[in-house]
Structures are given as structure tokens and as C-alpha cells.
Amino acid sequence: MIPKTIVFGCALGSLLWLACAARPATEIVPVQEAAKSAYPPVIEASPARQQAAEEAWANFLSEARLSFAKPDLEPVLNTPRSLPPALAGNINLKTGDSKTGEALNEERAKELLRRFIERQHAVLGGDQRASTLGLKDLSLISFSRDGELYRATYRQMNYPFPIANGYGELRLALSRTGALVQLSSRILPAVELPAKAAVEREAVAAKLLNREFTYSNLAGQPLTYRVARREEISVKELVIYPKLEENKLTVHLAYPVEVGRGMTWTVYFDAVNGQEIEVKQNFQS
């Protein structure tokens, strides 16, 4: 007679074998690895996002009681790249204002711009369904009078680090009579990014030691510059670096690294995976 313990062990083993055989062939990726594989986040162009931006633009013109003018939109972001010439000077932010006839002073101009941003966030922010663009997300970094115009630049502040590569800015120009003259927005929709770097600063610097850069002199002759010493490498503070690639924007947490002496280049390295993103020459040749 077979002992009960042996029978029980065999039955248990059979059940375990059946359970293993029933598991799907696809491996379950741990949460940490799944999160890592989703980096860097990507903002993709899509017909739905473009349609939403065009509808917001049409509503904006309808509210201003203007004939339709095709918008000039930023690739992927679908934010206004410029104000069409037919509209420049024809959108008055003082419409309905009790002080319509008065020339604007600086404080009044700033107030009209604040109201415009709050009212037209759908136009200025592109696809902001995840988090509506508002004044709390922007900081006025420059405001100046240029003849009969007021020029204002706002910087996007709802990311943990400064946004580089010309993104994250809203530029507006307003006449002293309250007419909108220029409009340019490169505001990013919100995406999730790591809160800190995974790559050490020195590891990034080491990648550039003995690196050669090619450039041309004023006569068009090709020349090279070799980074011979660590002192020629300066790793800057972290930035958010959006990079346009065909019909998408990849958004990186990045180190800008300035290299050279006299003539310099800035090399952007991903601070999460260490990959080189882009090289920019900081001088004309």
C-alpha cells in the first residue's frame, strides 16, 4: 500500500505542473521595468488633437467676430506658431472695456494679457486635457515697451525643471490701443518624468573627454577641436529637453554639458539612460 504522504505529494506536484503549464507565455514585466520602458515620454501628433486645436481656434475667431483665417500651428503641439497677418492688429483685447479710448499703461496691458491667457487657454496650450493651462502654470519673465508695442514673454512653470530647446514659452505683443499684434506659443502638455537623475554628473563628463568636434572657419575649411582636459567640460543643471522627431516630441530629463574653450558646444545627455540627445554649436562659423 502506497503511503498517504506520497500520494498527496504526487497530487500536489501534478497541480503545480498544471498551473505552470497554464501560465501565458508572455512574461509579466515588473512595475519598475514597465515604468522604465515608458521613458522618455512621447507626445505624438494625431488627427484628434489637431482637430481639437482647430476647433478652439475657430471658436476664438468667432468670439472676436472675425472671418476665419487658417491657423499657423506648431508641429505636434498644435499651438499657434504665429498670428496670421490678416489678424494682426484686428483682435482688440479692450473690446467691451469701459476704458476703450485710453492708451494702455504697463499695468493695464499686463492685466489685459492675463485675462486673454485665462480666456483662451485652449488655443494657447494646445492639448491640455490632462491639466488645463492657467496663469498659475506661467511666469512673466520679461515685459518691455518697444515703441508703440508692449512685448511679454511667459515661461511655463508646471515642470520640475526649466524647459529647454525653445519650448515652454508664450510670447505676446500688444499695441498701446489694446490690439493683439503677435502671438507665439510653445507650451508643452503635461507628461510624467522622473524627479531626479539616474546618471551621475561625472559619468556624463567622462563621455566627452577626448571627444572631437568638427566645425568650419570663415573660409569654409573644416577644422576639429578636441576636448583635452576635464576643465573644458561644464555639466549644467538639469533641464527638460523636448526633441522633435518627425511627427512626435520625445521629452527628456537632460544634462546640458558645455564643452570647449573660447569656442563652445552644448551637448545634451539624457539624465536617466545616459544617451546623447543632441549637440548644439554655440558660435557661428
Q: What are the domain boundaries of the chain? A: 46-185, 201-281
- What type of residue is 159? Y
- What type of residue is 171? R
Query: Is the pLDDT reported for residue 273 higher than 90?
Result: yes
The conformational region for residue 2 under phi > 0 = left, psi -120 to 50 = alpha, else beta, is beta
**pLDDT class for 62, splitting at 50, 70, 90?**
very high
Q: Whose grid coordinates read 496691458?
A: 109
- pLDDT (mean) for 226-239: 97
- What type of residue is 97? D
Query: Is the pLDDT reported for residue 6 higher than 50?
Result: no
- pLDDT (mean) for 40-69: 92
Taking only the tens place, the pLDDT of each residue in 107-159 is 999 999 999 999 999 999 875 554 567 788 999 999 999 999 999 999 999 99
pTM value?
A: 0.81
- pLDDT (mean) for 244-270: 96
Q: pLDDT value at position 128?
A: 52
Lowest-pLDDT range, 83-92, 100-109, 120-129? Answer: 120-129
